[in-house]
Amino acid sequence: MDLRVEGLSHRYDDLEVLRDINLEINAGEIVCVIGPSGCGKSTLLRLLGGLEQPSEGQVLQVGEPPEGSLNPLTYVFQDFALLPWRSVEGNVSLVLEGHKIPAAEKEARIADVLERTRLSDFRNAVPKQLSGGMKQRVAIARALSVNPAVLLMDEPLSALDSQTRELLMDDLIDLWERERFTSCYITHNLAEAVRLGHKVVVLSRRPGLIREVVEIDMPLKERTLSNPVVAGIQQQLWDMMRKEAQAADVELAG
């Protein structure tokens, strides 16, 4: 299933947040969205997921979700959103409890996603026993358990330290290589965007407009930070954003 965004604009009363967004998120690709603080990145994700209705324009789901999909669109948040009194298995099972599926299928889904995210040995652990990276892996496993068509990821690594962030990026790349999942990935971090994005959408300062869509035609496995091509793309993105990022910081401080 693809997502197609057509003429999307959004405002809160007199505050215009997004203007005339046109974008395609094709099955099997990761689309990263970057831009200055306050440019509407997270608002865009809420509109994609149907949590809010746009002031203008539309979001179209084109094609069929994968077989066995319980939720076509599923979120992964930056703060993990785990229930502290539930085990890893219990947190994953939470999103399945509202669906009328046989107990055997539920157990099979949980076992499958725990194996895919390398959490099988931690199924009985509670969140306080886990590192930040493992907590985010639980959140990803929970999202994958409903077999979504598109993962909507809202700065999922921003709460992690730099080493853990690198490790989890490697995990996401390994997962994509195995499964070719589809994602819209919001981030402030240009290194994440260049490592993970097949397309990087650069938004302007508010109201957010698409300044450019940068396509990166390089296998994810080859995108090490020491690769000069990767470093060059990251610099290109920063050159696009620098002045607007500075202006947005001044505006938010004011």
Asked if residues 213 and 184 have their Cβ atoms less than 8 Å apart, the reply is no
Q: Which residue has the tokens 């969205």?
A: 33
What letter would DSSP give residue 83?
A: -
What letter would DSSP give residue 24?
A: E
CA 164 to chain centre: 17
For the full predicted model, state whether its pTM sits above 0.85.
Answer: yes
Query: Which residues are paired to 200 by β-bridges?
Result: 32, 214
- pLDDT score at 253: 59
Superfamily of domain 2-65+150-253: P-loop containing nucleotide triphosphate hydrolases (3.40.50.300)
- pLDDT score at 67: 85
- pLDDT score at 186: 95
Which residue ranges make up each domain of the chain? 2-65+150-253, 84-148
Amino acid at 58: Q
Which parts of the chain register pLDDT below 50?
none
* Tokens describing residue 52: 């809010």
